[in-house]
Structure 1
């Protein structure tokens, strides 16, 4: 490895990816002959041809394909590391978030966040997988449910209230909880609190939901807005729809709602000193009305 020049590996990777010494040279800012010379030097040092050369065309052979797999992965990691270190000297926050929390709660607040912290840049990815922070792709995650990885800073984001939600027109026909027996109940398949738990909390036998089923809360909320039935959802996630009157909580004050901690802010301990992480965590906690976090 000490004898292999990085420039030759870079030339090989670019030529393999672009399929041309000329295109690789244009990308790296050197001549095609310099690319060819660098690749030839790499082949001599490794003792193996990497390309099948046919006049002006080049094509990876078996050895070249095998090497490219590892070289590409290495350069991807290097690029990511350089970008990460450079970006984190400033105000970049790489944030992963549970899809419904991102769509329903965080996105509507990004303007206020940017106004409060000029210069902050957020790169937001939404998904159901828990990032493991192994490759330093993200600074922090707002996850749904307790994190599965140990050794993280974990900040519970407070209790959420789970209650039936529907349009005002449908609410007018729901005089009592018993009326839900005949109603179309929208089920969120991946939610930790579902209709069975809500009925049990209100002393009612298990009811089989007769309505549409979705695997994300933001879709269940949208379905309720469209009048497809009654959704059992978090008032935090549906706060916009409740505020503008598109949804109402027909049994608020007349039924036992379920409260639980659904979302958590998590990040690796090595991220604690980063300015963007601390600022976002403090802003998020204040926005939710939670006690300030004690940094240690």
Structure 2
């Protein structure tokens, strides 16, 4: 007899979790190697576009996700997983997809850098706020006794510290950075994908049993995320060149970080882990399809 998804705890041994933390730290280090002081200075040259993208990620998307969970009425752990994914920062694959889409890569890179820095504080606060408001997920969150400060400390260790070290490394050793940044980015992303595959493979029976419960929610949620980015950019008057960057930046969430937090703070809670695992693959597929479609036609506002 199949257990309710809210009662399932997926398996991921402590040693593997430590290694996954290291891989994520390496991923953030790789992002930082590609981040220059100039990326932060660009914020001063395009403050409005940056503000729109940040607001879409950290305010509009979590709020819209909350509403989507009320409409779909998934199980509490699935709803909490959707909220957690929505609160995650973007991954650096968003920069690659923005380039493929013919969008503003400078804006995308800057948003990735700023968003990951802000996520150290905003992610645990957002999860606690929206999860605490949810009628069915809130009791589950209280039973876990999530401490936003503890989660914030964990995020600092696996996002903040490697990010700062990567920027310092790039500034001190620019020649070496140029040689290793691309291989480091590819290797860290490949390791992250392998770990997501390992998490799914190690709990394959659970994913087969429960994927049907989350696939529609993930597909709708992912489409909503891309749509929110594009709509916010359009409604605020940004040109197509910026709209594509903002849409992809809001649509691509770091599901790998979500999995780390789910195994580290939520005990591998079934619905949450299945949502993050399915999102990790679907998000890349959907983002690649959207970027390829956009890339077929020039974007309005793109410098010639």
TM-score by length of 1: 0.27
Q: Which has the larger radius of gyration?
A: 1
User: Which of the two has greater strand per residue?
Assistant: 1
User: Which of the two has greater helix per residue?
Assistant: 2
Larger RCO: Structure 1 or Structure 2 (Cα < 8 Å, ≥ 6 residues apart)? Answer: 2
TM-score by length of 2: 0.27
